[in-house]
Structure formats: structure tokens, C-alpha cells
Structure 1
């Protein structure tokens, strides 16, 4: 069922592998048949310009590790806390939020994870944003937050859909907060723009965040992609979560195939 990566997709995956520490060196090996068979993916899609408000889920909507897609959730929690305090983000907070989303900077995520109050702070924000199946990672391990594709669509709606009433201590993200997250997600560095845009996104209509993580216990990869894409004039929210890939390259390929099938 696996198809080879295009030159462009392979180049992006290799660029990420080069920057993600020496652990990635073994991730480019060809998968064994058993490892390839263990890979699974789930996609959820919502057409924002359609008539329905319920996402279509492809596959079992079970929990996966978030890896770095949780950074959108961390930023949403930070912005909610700032809203409640009646203030804008500080210069220091912006200097961390922007590389956290645009370059997937882990040091920035570490700092902001602590600032929001780690898993309890994330849970408080997610309750307000309508997420029901997301559990923050233990201690400092934000990348081991568990979530479902359906919950990621709920988070994306909180960012890309029209917001409801917002009051200090209740309600969702206000217009300025939503615009800030959307702007950062639309300016992700080029080598990290794989994933959901493979579903045929129009050139200027994509905003995304990807995540990738090699598990110490198995050596297998979690690879995820979430965001908004525009296809033939319609705005789609797309979340693709996967695990069990033998390499990062295979995970990227699986995510992109799954996104194309789910949207197309």
C-alpha cells in the first residue's frame, strides 16, 4: 500500500531529519514488512464553507501522541490566559510563540508549557475550547500529550471558525488571538510545509502545524499534520494523526496519502 515519496516530499523529509538531532539518522532506513504493517492513521475533515458542522472521520478516532502539533494548543492556552488578564502577550512571550509555531522550536515550547501550567493549564484551556479527548503529557513531556483527530478539528475550529461570545474566564479565543495563531500557522518555514497541503491546497490558502516523534520504546515514528487548506474555493480543516511508521519519511508519506484520500 505504500507508495514512494516524490522528490519534493523526500527533500522536505530529509531536511527535517537533518535538523531534528542524531536520533533521526536511523529513521530513513527502509521499513521491514512487520513495521510497515503496524503503521496506522486517522483523518478528520470539516468543510468550513459547507452546510455541515460535523467533521467526517476516516479511520478509528482513537488517541495518538501529539508530538509538536500540541504547540498550537499550548499557544491557544497562553492566549486565553492573557485574555483573562486583560493584556496582550509580552515581547518575551511572542519571541517564544513565533518560533514555536513557525520553526517548531522545542526550547520555546518548553518555556511556554511551563508558563501555561503544563497539563493542568492545557486541560483548563481545552475545556473552554470544546476539546473532550485530549490529555496533556506527563511532567515536562508536552510531546506525549494524547489527542484524537476529532479533537484536533475542534481546536482548529476554535482558531479558524467564527468565535462566539468571549468573557474573561470563559468563552474561547477572541478575534485578535485567532488571527495571531492563523498568521503564525500560515508562515511555517518551507521545509515544514508537508502534510495536509498535499490534499490539493490552493497556493495561498494553507496554514498548518506538523509534528514528528520517534518513540524510544519501539523506534517507530509518530507523524501528524493539522491545519486549514483551501481547495477549489472551499476552506477545509484537516487533521491527520499517525503512528507506527518505520521512518519519518514513511510517516510523512502516510500522512499525505491519508490527507489526499480524506479530502479528495
Structure 2
């Protein structure tokens, strides 16, 4: 996967993503309409990085590790919660569940996310799963607004560890295990099959042709017209696998937010 798209791909990507933002009004997120007044940009970004092939398991955090709205990166967390519930019941995902999970991750389908958010028990179900996955600073969004889940960059690396780190042994106090090998492989596969127009973000920190897996989120706020742009995933640099989470808010445009996220990811991995 190339870390930088061609000009044609970039134009295609922008058009598709803006169309996706407009569709959020049909899902659980806030409508994507700009505020009447010209927004005053106040961009902020935080990155957390963990070298999976390094010695430690504590992520390096760049910036203030405060809480940000997730937008669509929460879809990875929703899928993890669904898989934990299926494991607890001793079953595989049904065809219907896979029919929601796959478009939810691959092309960020909001209707699919709505269905699975309800199925896992909304915020309470997400938070119960997160206790087992090792997350400590993530609060589910109110009601059906899964995209307003609040999280930190370091918590997103904890979630990525639960998916990508085979050495992780996170479990609940009751002894129930976290994601098994089959569940981890399923999430990894879907994150590696995101549609091309949504492969911006942390992939910019990887090298061309190396395997990457990611999930992005984007949301324009109705109150300010400013953008939340987030990206989480695994990239490969010089033979090392890095888990990278970049969260941002306050950008004047989506393109500004994407550029901020990609610049922050490259600097954090470097």
C-alpha cells in the first residue's frame, strides 16, 4: 500500500469521503453541516505509538493524552465487543452479523454500525467489553450516538494490542479471556481490506508496499463547523510493526485534518 496517493486518487478520495460525511446524518452521528459563521480553526492532535517488535509494551504518547470523540474508529471497538459476546456464547458470528461487520469496517458503513451497536448493548456493552480488552479511558456515546464515544490515543493503542499483539493476555477479573486467535485474525483481515479511498491516515507512516491495516474516522461538528479526524492501525517500518493511533479535532476542513493526522503519524513513528 502506498503511503501517499496519486493526485487522481486524492481527488477521488476526497469526493468519496465528503459524500460519506453527508451520509452520517442517516446514521448515529451528528449532521455534517457547517456552522453559519466561518469556523475559527484550533487544531489539536495526539498520537500514541507502540513498537510491537520492540522490548516494551508501553506506548509512547506525543501530545496531551486527553479525550477525543471517536467518530468511526469506534467501529473496531464495536466489532471487538461483538466477537467477545460470540466467544462467551461459544459460537461463531452469524451470516447476518458478518454482513454488518464487514461493510462496517471495510467501507465504514453507518447503518451496519447502528445494527451492531444495538446488538452489543450500546454504551454499556461496549464498556463491559473494554474492561476485558484493557481499555481504561473510553466512554461509550449516549444513546445511539456511537460516534460520540470518547477515547484517548493511549486507549486506542490498548485496543490495537488486543487485536494485533499475540502476546497480549488481557483478561477480566473473573478470568474470562479476551479476543481469541480467530477473532483477532478476523479483525485484522477486515482492517487490511479497507476500501482504497479510506486508506489515508496512519498508513502515511508506513512504507510503500508494506502491509498496513487501519480504520479511520471523520466528523464535522454542527456547532462549530470544525472537523474531528482520527486514524488507528498497524503499519510496518524497517521490518518493525507499529501500532499507531492519532486523534485530532478542531481542523477547518477535512483535508486539513487528514494532513494533520498524517503528519503527526509520520513524526510519531519517526
Fold match (TM-score > 0.5): yes
Residue by residue over 1:175-222, the C-alpha shift from the partner in whole angstroms, topping out at 9 and shown as x without a partner, is 000000000000000000000011133424100000001111111110
Q: Of residues 80, 84, 89 in structure 1, which corresponds to 2:93?
A: 89
Structure 2: 5+ residue stretches without partners: 24-30
Give the superposition deviation at 1:148: 0.1
Name the Cα RMSD after superposition.
Answer: 2.3
What corresponds to 2:26 in structure 1? Answer: none
Kept in 1, the 8 Å contact 2:246–2:261? The answer is: yes
Q: How many aligned residue pairs are there?
A: 255
Tell me the SS of whatever aligns to 1:45: strand
Give the superposition deviation at 1:11: 4.2
1-structure distance, mates of 2:262, 2:93:
34
2-structure distance, mates of 1:165, 1:132:
12
Tell me the SS of whatever aligns to 1:44: strand
1-structure distance, mates of 2:186, 2:80:
10
Give the superposition deviation at 1:118: 0.1
Q: How does 1:47-126 map to 2 (within 5 A)?
A: 47-126=51-130
1:128 and 2:132 matched: yes
1:147 and 2:148 matched: no
1-structure distance, mates of 2:170, 2:214:
25
Provide TM-score, normalisation by structure 1. 0.90
Provide TM-score, normalisation by structure 2. 0.89
What corresponds to 1:157 in structure 2? Answer: 161
2-structure distance, mates of 1:12, 1:165:
37
Kept in 2, the 8 Å contact 1:84–1:169? The answer is: no
1-structure distance, mates of 2:122, 2:108:
18
What corresponds to 1:221 in structure 2? Answer: 227
Q: Of residues 230, 245, 248 in structure 1, which corresponds to 2:254?
A: 248
Kept in 1, the 8 Å contact 2:76–2:187? The answer is: yes
